[in-house]
Structure 1
């Protein structure tokens, strides 16, 4: 299986690097966008082009592989996760950043086999950050192996979180309650504007934990394996096992920190993918 994953990964990496050129053409922002579920949930033609590039390239090499893609899902393709090799794609994670020219957006591509993420690529071509991981082979930023921090206590943790893209009043109330908790209990708070890059920051050791409610499988599939291969953990924000289709995630530098944070969070349960 390792040899097969290496082969799949090598093809995917070249496609991601090539697709990154579509993003770097718009480093000053992309003003041609459309609304999706709300006035802060947006899509551009670049999102669609990147996803099409990845799906067509991978299909040409691996015709039996399955796909779950953000833009495909938005157009009505149902998210179905089987035991078959499945590529889970967010073509531009951090679309709002991308539109504004804020340099924190990325391509996120995870490979899931038997419902477990076994390889992941998170690529921010604007600042040349390439995070990668394969099962049992460690996590890397460009060519340097990376590791999570050793933080185990919320009071010493820099915690990343996001408000999300919904205007739902109950969700916003939960966001504000959790933000209040973080700024009074944790070392500090950060918001990058991209779920994948938030997870990459935990893997890098720059952030100690990240949680979010309302994200999707394509936001977190690559980040899951990258965090775990960097020595961290991914769980449900209530403390149970991680479920890639639950639209809920908490990743951290240690099991102790993850569980302590989970015990402090106000919970929100969105509709599953």
Structure 2
């Protein structure tokens, strides 16, 4: 099913233009492909699992409430990195996570352009195209490749926090390198495979990170999916050093939090 969604996205990506709309702001984009992919995934999963529930980015944008219950729930972002998709930057992810009793059980992040398929099931490890992956062992910020990213929320508080944190991590702490890939899911699975050492962002939603969080956990890094903030690193010492250097922004939770057992 994710393969079929990938074909749809890849075909649209190869076209010269997309029908682009804005949602909450002109930095929050949606295309007809986002909507078509989510519809395809929900329709297919509903046929296989008629009693399961869904939280989908475009469904929520259309007015559906974010509600996580004990029932098996699929958490879907049809295209994480829509701005990349619109501008034909090949860093995007089709994200499908499964939570049962508010605990993540499985996750898939598929980049149909590069054909990278990241997957994980609880207790079975994390994989990329069938091969095991693991987080890095980098412990100091001075040796780390760090992703810091500003999302669609551009309030003065958010912008000030981003600039101050960037200066602290990249300037004061002298991080080895900085990157930003434009997709929360891609950022997280790259931490999972050890390509980057840490990633921090504020203002995310559960569909941005649920699938990748399962992969990251199975790749060797515990996670906390509380609220709308992500700070993940390959080692606890690196996470602690980064946390102390960041200017944090308090974010309200969005529905019930996914729990970790």
Alignment match, 2:234: 253
Alignment match, 2:212: 223
Alpha-carbon distance between aligned partners in 2 of 1:50 and 1:22, rounded to the nearest angstrom: 7
Kept after mapping to 2: 8 A contact 1:38/1:167: no
Alignment match, 1:117: 104
Decide which of 11, 17, 20 is 2:6's aligned counterpart.
Answer: 20
Q: Helix, strand or coil: the match of 2:13? A: coil
CA displacement at 1:270 relative to structure 2 = 2.7
1:169-225, CA deviations, whole angstroms, 9 ceiling, x for partnerless residues?
211111111111221112111100000000000001001111110010000001111
Alignment match, 2:61: 74
Kept after mapping to 2: 8 A contact 1:30/1:98: no
Q: Helix, strand or coil: the match of 1:101? A: coil
Kept after mapping to 2: 8 A contact 1:150/1:253: yes
CA displacement at 1:97 relative to structure 2 = 0.2
Decide which of 27, 38, 45 is 1:51's aligned counterpart.
Answer: 38
Decide which of 179, 191, 202 is 2:166's aligned counterpart.
Answer: 179
Alpha-carbon distance between aligned partners in 1 of 2:63 and 2:160, rounded to the nearest angstrom: 29
Alpha-carbon distance between aligned partners in 1 of 2:110 and 2:88, rounded to the nearest angstrom: 16
Question: Which shifted more, 154-163 or 45-54?
Answer: 154-163
Alignment match, 1:271: 252
Q: Helix, strand or coil: the match of 1:219? A: helix
CA displacement at 1:113 relative to structure 2 = 1.2
What 5-or-longer segments of structure 2 have no aligned partner?
255-261
1:30-75, CA deviations, whole angstroms, 9 ceiling, x for partnerless residues?
4311011111110001101110111111111111111111001111
Alpha-carbon distance between aligned partners in 1 of 2:151 and 2:231, rounded to the nearest angstrom: 14
Kept after mapping to 2: 8 A contact 1:233/1:253: no
Aligned residues: 251
Of structures 1 and 2, the one with the larger relative CO (CA 8 A, separation 6+) is 2
Kept after mapping to 2: 8 A contact 1:233/1:258: no
**Normalising by the residue count of structure 2, what TM-score does the alignment of the two structures yield?**
0.93
CA displacement at 1:251 relative to structure 2 = 1.3
Alpha-carbon distance between aligned partners in 1 of 2:103 and 2:17, rounded to the nearest angstrom: 34
Taking a change above 3 Å as real, the CA distance of residues 25 and 45 of structure 1, as seen in their structure-2 partners, is same
